[in-house]
Amino acid sequence: MRVSFVELFIHCKKVFRACGIPYGCADDGAEVVTWSEFIGLKGMHVLQQEIPNMYPPGMRSVDLLLEDDNGLFRFDGNKQSAIILGKLMADYALALAETRETVRVHMTNTTRSHLLAQPAHYIASRNRGCLINYKTKNGEPMWILSTPEIAYPVFAEGNSAEEMVQHSLTAELGQYETTNLKSDDFWLVCTTETNLITSCIRNLRHEAKKGAIHLTESAKLKATFDKNYNNGLEVDDQAWKELGDIGDQTLVEATEASRQRGAGEMAQ
């Protein structure tokens, strides 16, 4: 079946609400999944996998563990899904970036996936540069780079890309503790020094042309998004139904008491 951006957003939002995620975070999570699906990053599939990691106590227990003088903030995600925490940390970093050139966030005890590209894109849309780093299921380092000058994020994967990013950006934007990065961590850097990230992307592209590293390019993601947004997105019927069955749990059976209070999920 074929759906619009708004249709998929509403469909996914019901899933987050059924999981007990608060309204603002449910909106953010639905935006992450929908945008990711429309650029070809299988947002619905990741959502299905991460539903067990979504629960209200996880939102209340996200904890700031450490703040230092170098713009480093360490958080414990309490096993909450990064679909939600990525956007939450992006908003946190952007707020601090009003008075700081560079903010670095290290989130532990969470999930990680390519859906973290949406928070990177979101930060770039607010005229800041963004780096996100995590390890893939195979243990390979993955970097997501995004700046206002480049329409959509760039993915750089592997040890060679890791060395290039570290060499290009560590001295200017701060030391990354990527050697200790675990499978349930991610780093997020928000900076006003957007030219540094743009320059690093150029270097990565140069090496990619020689076959030295693997990139997923901004232009490819943008072209996929534009095609799906303009023509509608073809989604898997079974995945749509399974998410719909979960989302339907937000509906409340009509009773005399619920009619007096007002129908819908707010009446719960």
Comparing CA positions, the residue from 47, 23, 58, 99 lying closest to residue 235 is: 47
Q: What is the pLDDT of residues 11-64, one digit of tens each?
A: 999 999 999 898 899 999 999 999 999 999 999 999 999 998 887 665 677 888
Comparing CA positions, the residue from 109, 72, 69 lying closest to residue 92 is: 72
Strands 186-191, 129-135: pairing is antiparallel
Q: What is the pLDDT of residue 236?
A: 94
pLDDT exceeds 80 at position 175 = no
DSSP code per residue over the chain: -EE-HHHHHHHHHHHHHHTT--HHHHHHHHHHHHHHHHTTS-HHHHHHHHGGG--HHHHHT-EEEEE-TTSEEEEE-TT--HHHHHHHHHHHHHHHTTT-SEEEEEEESS---GGGHHHHHHHHHTT-EEEEEEE-TTS-EEEEEE-TTSSS-EEEESHHHHHHHHHHHHHHH----GGG--TT-EEEEEES-HHHHHHHHHHHHHHHHTTSSEEE-HHHHHHHHHHHHHH-EE--HHHHHHHHHHHGGG-----HHHHHH-SSGGG-
Residues 173, 44: Cα–Cα separation, whole Å:
34
pLDDT exceeds 60 at position 261 = no
Strand partners, 75: 64, 107
Q: Are 183 and 142 in contact (CB under 8 A)?
A: no
Q: What is the pLDDT of residue 262?
A: 45
Residues 112, 25: Cα–Cα separation, whole Å:
17
pLDDT exceeds 50 at position 264 = no
Q: What is the pLDDT of residue 223?
A: 96
Q: What is the pLDDT of residues 235-260, one digit of tens each?
A: 999 999 999 999 998 754 444 544 45
Q: How far is CA 261 from the centre of its chain?
A: 36
The better pLDDT of the pair 146, 265 is held by: 146
What six digits make up the tokens of 238?
């079974």
Q: What is the pLDDT of residue 181?
A: 81
Residues 236, 23: Cα–Cα separation, whole Å:
26
Comparing CA positions, the residue from 191, 229, 224 lying closest to residue 96 is: 191
What six digits make up the tokens of 244?
């719909």
